[in-house]
Structure 1
Amino acid sequence: MSLDLHLEADQHLTTALLGRLLENLPRTEQANVPGGIQATFPSGLSLRCEDSQLQPEIYAEDRKGCDFSVGLRCYLRIKGPEPEGHSALDEIRWLLENIAQSCEALFILSFQYEATLYWRDANGLHCADD
Protein backbone atom coordinates (compact mmCIF):
# COMPACT_ATOMS: atom_id res chain seq x y z
CA MET A 1 0.00 0.00 0.00
CA SER A 2 1.20 3.52 -0.74
CA LEU A 3 0.09 6.98 0.31
CA ASP A 4 0.21 9.91 -2.09
CA LEU A 5 0.82 13.41 -0.76
CA HIS A 6 0.85 16.63 -2.77
CA LEU A 7 2.86 19.75 -2.02
CA GLU A 8 1.67 22.88 -3.80
CA ALA A 9 3.89 25.94 -3.35
CA ASP A 10 4.11 29.46 -4.71
CA GLN A 11 6.93 30.75 -6.94
CA HIS A 12 9.29 31.32 -3.99
CA LEU A 13 10.03 27.59 -3.88
CA THR A 14 11.96 26.46 -6.95
CA THR A 15 13.33 23.11 -8.03
CA ALA A 16 16.86 24.52 -7.61
CA LEU A 17 16.20 25.53 -4.00
CA LEU A 18 14.50 22.24 -3.24
CA GLY A 19 17.48 20.38 -4.68
CA ARG A 20 19.87 22.30 -2.43
CA LEU A 21 17.73 21.50 0.62
CA LEU A 22 17.68 17.81 -0.25
CA GLU A 23 21.48 17.78 -0.44
CA ASN A 24 21.49 18.45 3.32
CA LEU A 25 19.61 15.26 4.17
CA PRO A 26 22.13 12.39 4.35
CA ARG A 27 21.51 9.36 2.14
CA THR A 28 18.92 11.12 0.00
CA GLU A 29 19.41 10.39 -3.67
CA GLN A 30 18.22 12.88 -6.24
CA ALA A 31 18.24 13.24 -10.00
CA ASN A 32 17.26 15.98 -12.41
CA VAL A 33 14.34 15.23 -14.69
CA PRO A 34 12.97 17.50 -17.45
CA GLY A 35 11.43 20.53 -15.71
CA GLY A 36 12.06 19.28 -12.18
CA ILE A 37 13.76 16.82 -9.85
CA GLN A 38 13.08 13.48 -8.25
CA ALA A 39 14.47 12.12 -5.01
CA THR A 40 14.38 9.07 -2.79
CA PHE A 41 14.75 9.50 0.97
CA PRO A 42 16.33 6.99 3.39
CA SER A 43 12.85 5.87 4.53
CA GLY A 44 11.88 4.98 0.97
CA LEU A 45 9.77 8.13 0.60
CA SER A 46 9.92 9.32 -3.00
CA LEU A 47 9.49 12.85 -4.30
CA ARG A 48 8.98 14.16 -7.79
CA CYS A 49 8.44 17.83 -8.50
CA GLU A 50 8.02 20.10 -11.44
CA ASP A 51 7.60 23.79 -12.02
CA SER A 52 3.92 24.51 -12.54
CA GLN A 53 3.37 27.97 -13.99
CA LEU A 54 0.91 26.54 -16.53
CA GLN A 55 -1.47 25.31 -13.80
CA PRO A 56 -1.47 28.02 -11.11
CA GLU A 57 -4.64 26.96 -9.26
CA ILE A 58 -4.50 25.18 -5.90
CA TYR A 59 -5.98 21.68 -6.12
CA ALA A 60 -6.17 21.03 -2.36
CA GLU A 61 -9.78 21.02 -1.22
CA ASP A 62 -9.08 22.46 2.25
CA ARG A 63 -6.92 25.51 1.61
CA LYS A 64 -6.75 26.63 5.26
CA GLY A 65 -7.24 30.20 4.07
CA CYS A 66 -4.27 30.09 1.69
CA ASP A 67 -4.62 31.77 -1.68
CA PHE A 68 -1.58 31.83 -3.96
CA SER A 69 -0.59 30.94 -7.51
CA VAL A 70 1.07 27.54 -7.60
CA GLY A 71 4.57 27.75 -9.04
CA LEU A 72 5.80 24.29 -7.98
CA ARG A 73 4.08 20.96 -7.44
CA CYS A 74 5.67 18.03 -5.62
CA TYR A 75 4.30 14.53 -5.50
CA LEU A 76 5.43 12.51 -2.49
CA ARG A 77 4.78 8.79 -2.13
CA ILE A 78 5.13 6.77 1.06
CA LYS A 79 5.44 3.16 -0.02
CA GLY A 80 5.86 -0.04 1.93
CA PRO A 81 7.54 -0.63 5.27
CA GLU A 82 10.27 1.78 6.33
CA PRO A 83 13.78 0.60 7.17
CA GLU A 84 14.45 0.47 10.88
CA GLY A 85 15.32 3.88 12.27
CA HIS A 86 13.73 5.86 9.43
CA SER A 87 10.38 7.61 9.21
CA ALA A 88 8.81 9.07 6.08
CA LEU A 89 6.65 11.35 8.22
CA ASP A 90 9.74 12.68 10.02
CA GLU A 91 11.45 13.28 6.67
CA ILE A 92 8.41 15.17 5.37
CA ARG A 93 8.33 17.36 8.48
CA TRP A 94 12.12 17.98 8.12
CA LEU A 95 11.60 18.99 4.48
CA LEU A 96 8.72 21.37 5.22
CA GLU A 97 10.52 22.98 8.17
CA ASN A 98 13.60 23.52 6.01
CA ILE A 99 11.53 25.04 3.20
CA ALA A 100 9.88 27.38 5.73
CA GLN A 101 13.29 28.43 7.11
CA SER A 102 14.93 28.86 3.70
CA CYS A 103 12.42 30.96 1.77
CA GLU A 104 9.15 32.84 1.99
CA ALA A 105 7.15 30.23 0.07
CA LEU A 106 3.49 29.74 0.91
CA PHE A 107 2.47 26.10 0.53
CA ILE A 108 -0.03 23.36 1.27
CA LEU A 109 0.73 19.66 1.78
CA SER A 110 -2.33 17.49 1.36
CA PHE A 111 -3.20 13.82 1.32
CA GLN A 112 -4.58 13.14 -2.17
CA TYR A 113 -5.73 16.79 -2.30
CA GLU A 114 -8.51 15.89 0.16
CA ALA A 115 -7.06 16.42 3.64
CA THR A 116 -4.57 19.20 4.37
CA LEU A 117 -1.76 18.02 6.65
CA TYR A 118 0.58 21.03 6.69
CA TRP A 119 0.38 24.56 5.36
CA ARG A 120 2.41 27.71 5.49
CA ASP A 121 0.69 31.04 5.40
CA ALA A 122 1.68 34.56 6.46
CA ASN A 123 1.62 33.37 10.10
CA GLY A 124 4.11 30.53 9.58
CA LEU A 125 4.11 26.75 9.30
CA HIS A 126 1.09 24.86 10.67
CA CYS A 127 0.29 21.19 11.19
CA ALA A 128 -3.28 19.87 11.15
CA ASP A 129 -2.50 17.83 14.30
CA ASP A 130 -1.42 20.88 16.33
Structure 2
Amino acid sequence: MSIDLWLEADDQLPEDALGVLLREAGAVQFELENGSVGFAFQSGPNAFPRGADGAPRIKAEDPRGLGFAVASRCVFRPTSGEYDECMADLRQLLESVVERTGAHFVVSFQLEETLFLNSGKGLQCL
Protein backbone atom coordinates (compact mmCIF):
# COMPACT_ATOMS: atom_id res chain seq x y z
CA MET A 1 0.00 0.00 0.00
CA SER A 2 1.35 3.39 -0.94
CA ILE A 3 1.04 6.59 1.02
CA ASP A 4 -0.09 9.58 -1.01
CA LEU A 5 0.36 13.21 -0.05
CA TRP A 6 -1.74 15.44 -2.30
CA LEU A 7 -0.93 19.03 -3.24
CA GLU A 8 -3.88 20.94 -4.73
CA ALA A 9 -3.11 24.48 -5.92
CA ASP A 10 -4.77 27.41 -7.64
CA ASP A 11 -3.80 28.93 -10.98
CA GLN A 12 -0.76 30.70 -9.51
CA LEU A 13 0.99 27.31 -9.63
CA PRO A 14 0.48 25.82 -13.09
CA GLU A 15 1.86 22.36 -13.78
CA ASP A 16 4.89 23.65 -15.71
CA ALA A 17 5.87 26.06 -12.91
CA LEU A 18 5.56 23.22 -10.40
CA GLY A 19 7.93 21.17 -12.58
CA VAL A 20 10.49 23.97 -12.48
CA LEU A 21 10.24 24.22 -8.68
CA LEU A 22 10.56 20.44 -8.31
CA ARG A 23 13.76 20.44 -10.40
CA GLU A 24 15.14 23.39 -8.41
CA ALA A 25 14.42 21.43 -5.22
CA GLY A 26 16.70 18.67 -6.50
CA ALA A 27 14.19 16.27 -8.02
CA VAL A 28 15.16 14.52 -11.25
CA GLN A 29 12.54 14.42 -13.99
CA PHE A 30 11.64 11.11 -15.63
CA GLU A 31 9.08 10.14 -18.25
CA LEU A 32 6.28 7.67 -17.59
CA GLU A 33 5.02 5.15 -20.13
CA ASN A 34 1.88 7.21 -20.72
CA GLY A 35 3.97 10.25 -21.71
CA SER A 36 3.45 12.21 -18.51
CA VAL A 37 6.35 13.08 -16.23
CA GLY A 38 7.33 12.28 -12.68
CA PHE A 39 10.07 13.57 -10.44
CA ALA A 40 12.32 11.57 -8.12
CA PHE A 41 14.00 13.04 -5.06
CA GLN A 42 17.32 11.58 -3.98
CA SER A 43 15.88 10.88 -0.54
CA GLY A 44 13.29 8.54 -2.05
CA PRO A 45 9.90 10.12 -2.70
CA ASN A 46 8.46 10.52 -6.17
CA ALA A 47 6.22 13.37 -7.28
CA PHE A 48 3.65 13.23 -10.06
CA PRO A 49 2.30 16.66 -11.07
CA ARG A 50 -0.72 17.08 -13.30
CA GLY A 51 -3.46 19.54 -14.10
CA ALA A 52 -6.84 19.63 -12.41
CA ASP A 53 -8.14 16.85 -14.70
CA GLY A 54 -11.39 18.76 -15.27
CA ALA A 55 -12.15 18.70 -11.53
CA PRO A 56 -11.54 22.21 -10.14
CA ARG A 57 -13.09 21.45 -6.72
CA ILE A 58 -10.69 20.80 -3.83
CA LYS A 59 -10.77 17.06 -3.11
CA ALA A 60 -9.21 17.25 0.36
CA GLU A 61 -11.87 16.44 2.95
CA ASP A 62 -10.95 19.37 5.23
CA PRO A 63 -9.58 22.29 3.20
CA ARG A 64 -9.83 24.54 6.29
CA GLY A 65 -12.15 27.04 4.67
CA LEU A 66 -10.19 27.44 1.44
CA GLY A 67 -12.36 27.51 -1.65
CA PHE A 68 -10.15 28.25 -4.65
CA ALA A 69 -10.53 26.57 -8.04
CA VAL A 70 -7.86 23.88 -8.37
CA ALA A 71 -5.63 24.34 -11.43
CA SER A 72 -2.99 21.72 -10.60
CA ARG A 73 -2.46 18.69 -8.42
CA CYS A 74 0.64 16.76 -7.47
CA VAL A 75 0.88 13.42 -5.70
CA PHE A 76 3.93 12.84 -3.52
CA ARG A 77 4.56 9.18 -2.92
CA PRO A 78 7.22 8.33 -0.31
CA THR A 79 8.99 5.03 -0.67
CA SER A 80 8.81 2.61 2.22
CA GLY A 81 10.53 3.99 5.32
CA GLU A 82 11.21 7.41 3.76
CA TYR A 83 8.32 9.40 5.25
CA ASP A 84 10.44 11.85 7.29
CA GLU A 85 12.71 12.57 4.33
CA CYS A 86 9.69 13.06 2.08
CA MET A 87 8.16 15.53 4.52
CA ALA A 88 11.42 17.51 4.63
CA ASP A 89 11.57 17.62 0.81
CA LEU A 90 7.90 18.54 0.60
CA ARG A 91 8.21 21.32 3.18
CA GLN A 92 11.20 22.78 1.31
CA LEU A 93 9.21 22.70 -1.93
CA LEU A 94 6.16 24.32 -0.32
CA GLU A 95 8.27 27.13 1.14
CA SER A 96 9.56 27.76 -2.38
CA VAL A 97 6.01 27.74 -3.78
CA VAL A 98 4.94 30.37 -1.23
CA GLU A 99 7.99 32.56 -1.82
CA ARG A 100 8.06 32.32 -5.62
CA THR A 101 4.40 32.09 -6.65
CA GLY A 102 2.10 33.07 -3.80
CA ALA A 103 -0.22 30.23 -4.86
CA HIS A 104 -3.01 29.18 -2.54
CA PHE A 105 -2.81 25.46 -1.86
CA VAL A 106 -3.72 22.64 0.45
CA VAL A 107 -1.64 19.51 1.09
CA SER A 108 -3.39 16.50 2.53
CA PHE A 109 -2.56 12.97 3.59
CA GLN A 110 -4.60 10.57 1.40
CA LEU A 111 -7.01 13.51 0.76
CA GLU A 112 -8.23 12.99 4.34
CA GLU A 113 -6.06 14.96 6.76
CA THR A 114 -4.84 18.46 5.90
CA LEU A 115 -1.12 18.83 6.67
CA PHE A 116 -0.12 22.16 5.08
CA LEU A 117 -1.86 25.10 3.46
CA ASN A 118 -1.34 28.58 2.17
CA SER A 119 -4.35 30.88 2.27
CA GLY A 120 -2.26 33.92 1.39
CA LYS A 121 -0.74 34.20 4.86
CA GLY A 122 2.33 32.04 4.26
CA LEU A 123 2.97 28.36 4.80
CA GLN A 124 0.91 26.91 7.64
CA CYS A 125 1.80 23.50 9.09
CA LEU A 126 -1.14 21.84 10.80
Q: TM-score normalized by structure 2?
A: 0.88
In structure 1, distance between residues paired with 2:54 and 2:19: 21
Gaps of 5+ in 1: none
Per the alignment, residue 13 of structure 2 pairs with: 13
- C-alpha change, 1:32 and 1:121, in structure 2 (3 Å) is farther
Per the alignment, residue 68 of structure 1 pairs with: 68
SS in structure 1 of the partner of residue 18 of structure 2: helix
Per the alignment, residue 92 of structure 2 pairs with: 94
Overall identity of the aligned pairs, in %:
36
Gaps of 5+ in 2: none
Per the alignment, residue 31 of structure 1 pairs with: 30
Which amino acid in 2 is paired with 1:44?
Answer: G
In structure 2, distance between residues paired with 1:53 and 1:114: 19
Shift of 1:36: 5.5
Moved more, 35-44 or 63-72: 35-44
Q: 2:30·2:40 contact (CA, 8 Å) conserved in 1? A: no
In structure 2, distance between residues paired with 1:44 and 1:108: 22
Q: TM-score normalized by structure 1?
A: 0.85
**For the aligned residues, what is the CA RMSD?**
2.0
